[in-house]
Structure formats: C-alpha cells, structure tokens
Structure 1
C-alpha cells in the first residue's frame, strides 16, 4: 500500500461507525510495532510523531523512518505530525513528505487559532496533504496540579466554536475537548457524550479525541458511537511496553540478554497492545 492522507481513511470510518487509531512513536521499535500490528489486523493506521518527542527522535530522522515504513507497508498509512506548535515545524514536515499535519493553537485565542490553521490548510492542501486542527482546551494530568475531573466544563469545545472553526479554516479533521486529558489518568474522567454528539451533528468533518489512553473499552465505543473517527493513543501503550520489558528482563536474569533482544521484545509488546486497540476501535479488516 502507499502513503495516504486523513481524507483517504477517516470519512469511511465516520460513515461506517468505527475509528482509526493514531499511534505515536518516539523510537524505531515502537514505530515498527505499530505498523506490524496494523498489518496483522489489516487496518488503516495513523503513524504519528509529536513535536514534544523531538528530543528523543528528531523530525528529520523520525520522519524518514515513518515515511519508509509507510511506503513499504501492506496497509494504508497516514504519516502525521501530532501537536505541531508552530507554522515552521508543520511546513518542514509537509516538505519532508508527511501526508498530514496538526497545528495545535488550541490554547491561543480562537481568532489566532483560526487564522494560523487556515494558513497551514492552504499550504498543505496545495501539496495534497491533510490537516487536523484543535478547538477547545485539553488539559494534562501530571499529578501535580492535576485537573479536577468533575469540573472540566469550561474546557469543553462549544458547538458554535466548532462550527466557526470548521467553516473558516477548511480543516480535514477536528480535535475537540469533551472531558479527556493528556497523559495517564489518575482519576476516572467525566466525559460529555452529549456535547460530543452535538458537535458531530453540527460539523461534517471527522472528529478526533486526544488523551485517549486512559479510556475504558466502553468509553472508546461510546465515543465512536457519538462521533469520534480518530483516536490518539500513546501514554498507556508506552507504560505497558516498559512494564512488559522490565518483566521480560527480570525473567532473564540468569541468561545473557543483548540489546537486540530488548529491541525485539519492545516491538512485540507494542504490537500486541496496538492490536488490542485496533480491535476495540473497530478498524480491523478495514484496510
């Protein structure tokens, strides 16, 4: 299969009622595990690198890796920049050959968010690439100063904001806030499925959930039922793989273990974790 954009896979997911997993990587083994899982499940996939992970894997190296994996994969792969924080980074990724980018100006004013996102949309569309934007504020659960899960109302995306954002930017996918937070959850989130449904009815583009790691299978399915077509998932997968690697190394204390053994184990752990999510999201056999 070849490199594809969000527009090649998300409208079908929206129409048929499943979601595409968007999985972050910050190293080669994680990226390879993600692609292996999608191939085994025969699922389209979004392989994405976040700008916050550039200290571990710079854009130049990480982009080349993802593009090579996509071009040699048997399933549709979107190579996506996640949470680009400025115009320059998004443009660099697009010029490298990324098929999709996200400019995250959600914490700026709505006017600035719309203006800058529209600029990236125009640039990306001229290259045949897709753009994800975000409206509404996503918080981060980092323990210290963690959000009050029962009082996230002020951060929810409003229907009017979503409509204006779509109409004035021409984006291809919209990330919204309805109660999820970034990172590993320390308390049960309070999700506003009514708000999600209202936004899905008001705008025609596929909707995206960020902070998808801490949700239960039921919450994933309810999110999809109420309008989510792309689910970003990373933190729990990363934690699970690290935990699994620790257990593997502990079990091999009496044996010689080399670096490539750890590499292969990480790939296997990531693959199995991602396969499970693909099944839950409903995108298996949709390639």
Structure 2
C-alpha cells in the first residue's frame, strides 16, 4: 500500500523503529526492495534521487512504483531524494511522490530556511511531506553524491530551522558519509541526542551504507526514523555482474536480471532487519 512518508515515519517514531529508504534506479532494484519488505513485514521507502532524472523517466518510474506498492501488503512510500531544483520537486509532486527532499545544505542557515520554507508551502498544498537537511554529509568511497564538507548539525540551528520552515522530517549530519567509509567511522551519537532534544519531528540518517549495525541501532534509539541506503546495494549489484559475466561467456539478459535481483536482496534484508524493533 502506498502511504505518505510522514505517516510511516510518525509511526516509526512512536514505536521506536527505523525505516530504510533505498535508492532504486531499475525494475530489479525496485522489485527486490518490495519483495524483501513483504518477507520481513516491515515498511520501506522507495527513493529516487534528482541526479537520476536523466536516466530514469520520472513519470514512468512513479507509475510503476505506485502499481507495485498498491499490490503490496506492507506500507511503502515514494520519496524524492536530494533535490536541488524547484522544478524537479514540482515534477515529483505532480506524478505522485509522497515526499520530497529539498537539499539547501550548501547555503547559509537563513537562505536554507528561506528556500526550504517555499518548498514546504508548495508540497504541503499537495499533501506531500518534506525532508530537509542542515549540516553537510561528506562523500566517501564509491558514492555518486555531490561532495559535502562534513559540517555537523548544530542543535540550536536545527530547532530554529524546523520551527521556521515547518519541515516534516530532518536529515541530521552527525558524521556519517555518503558511500563507504575510507577510515574508522566517527559518528557523534551524543550530538544526535542533543538534536533529538531540540526538535520533535522524525530524524533522518543519510549514509547508511557501511555504518556499523550497532551504531544504526543506537541511532534509532536516539531519534533516527529513516536511514538512507544506496551504495551497498549498488556495490552488490556490480559485484554480481562482474562475477557472472566472468564465469559465463554467453548468458541471456533475463537470467542476468533475475540473478541481479537475487544478489541484492540479502543486502536489503540486512538493513531492514537492523532497523526493525
């Protein structure tokens, strides 16, 4: 069933569990996420980043996701991840995304508040929830995200930002990275606790890939309701393709696609299981 992302996260916040938001970019990744969510009987968020708009037909993707979500037995949301352009956000709203993320983290606080406030007004008129970000998540290895400077979220800035923009959930920068860590993760859970005490809305952790499982569990205990996952799924997919094409000189595309979906399902299951209560 397709639900508003805010409704899914408010339930997660109340019952103290996390929901994984998987970036998908193909039929196989979409089917794998939904199949595992049903097997685990746990909600999931299907995410599509603005950076994939050139390779994925947004309207077609939304239509496909809504059909599959409608057949599903678990709550599923459709989320626009890391959007920088108002036009992209309006396009996603028009074709049925249930939430959008406006990323104004590159701006100073006042500009971020001003731009985010405008997006919130537009989205809320359509019944769509909004995620935003304060601070900046740095880019690790194997990531296709833009490079952030790694500035951590200031709890008082978070309080001001939420009060003035009316966002529905907030991405908190606490030391995770987009992609895989190149050294020992340095994740500030004490800071997360301060942020949780400063705001009442659900919090989001970007950079789930490579983050130690015990850290994710502790993060959920301290207010994280949504964890973004992309790179680990991508790496599992490309590893499978490298191996199968090395072993098989000729292989039908349908078999490759089926095998690819099976290869990523354990990665998806790992995150869902870690975030379940």
Name the TM-score class by shorter chain: over 0.9
| 1:22 to 1:154, Cα distance in 2 relative to 1, 3 A | closer
Partner of 2:145: none
Structure-1 residue corresponding to 2:212: 216
Match of 1:60 in 2: 59
The superposition leaves residues 161-186 of structure 1 with CA deviations (integer Å, 9 ceiling, x where unpaired) of 10011001111110010001111221
1:203 paired residue number: 199
- Aligned match of 2:183: 187
Pairing of 1:96-135 with structure 2 (within 5 A): 96-135=95-134
Classify 1:10/1:258 alpha carbon distance in 2 versus 1 (closer, same or farther; 3 Å).
same
Measured on the aligned residues, the alpha-carbon RMSD in Å equals: 2.0
C-alpha distance in 2 between matches for 1:262 and 1:218? 34
Count of aligned residue pairs for this structure pair: 273
Query: Equivalent residue for 1:77?
Result: 76
Task: Report the alpha carbon displacement of residue 250 of structure 1 after superposing the two structures with TM.
Answer: 3.7
Give 1:120-269 correspondences, 5 Å limit: 120-142=119-141, 155-253=151-249, 256-269=250-263
Give yes or no for contact 2:79–2:97 (8 Å, CA) kept in 1: yes
Query: Deviation digits for residues 151-203 of structure 1, max 9, x if unmatched?
Result: x9971100111001100111111001000111122112211111000101110
Deviation above 3 Å: which 4+ runs of structure 1?
248-253
**CA displacement at 1:235 relative to structure 2:** 0.2
Separation in structure 2 between the aligned mates of residue 93 and residue 99 of structure 1, nearest angstrom = 9
Uncovered stretches (5+) of structure 2, i.e. residues with no partner: 143-147
Say if 1:154 and 1:272 are closer, same or farther in 2 by CA, change over 3 A.
closer
Partners of 1:247 and 1:27 lie apart in 2 by 20
User: What's the TM-score once normalised by structure 2's chain length?
Assistant: 0.93
Which whole-Å CA distance do the structure 2 matches of 1:205 and 1:198 have between them? 13
CA distance in 2, matches of 1:38, 1:20: 10
Contact 1:87 1:116 in 2 (8 A): no
Asked whether the 8 Å contact 2:100–2:130 carries over to 1, the reply is: yes
CA distance in 2, matches of 1:109, 1:68: 40
- Bigger Cα displacement from structure 2, 37-46 vs 121-130: 121-130
Unaligned runs of 5+ in 1: 144-151
Aligned with 1:48: secondary structure?
A: strand
Query: Residues of 1 paired with 2:241 and 2:42: CA distance?
Result: 26
The yes-or-no answer on 1:95 pairing with 2:94 is yes
| Cα pair 1:70 1:79 within 8 Å, conserved | no
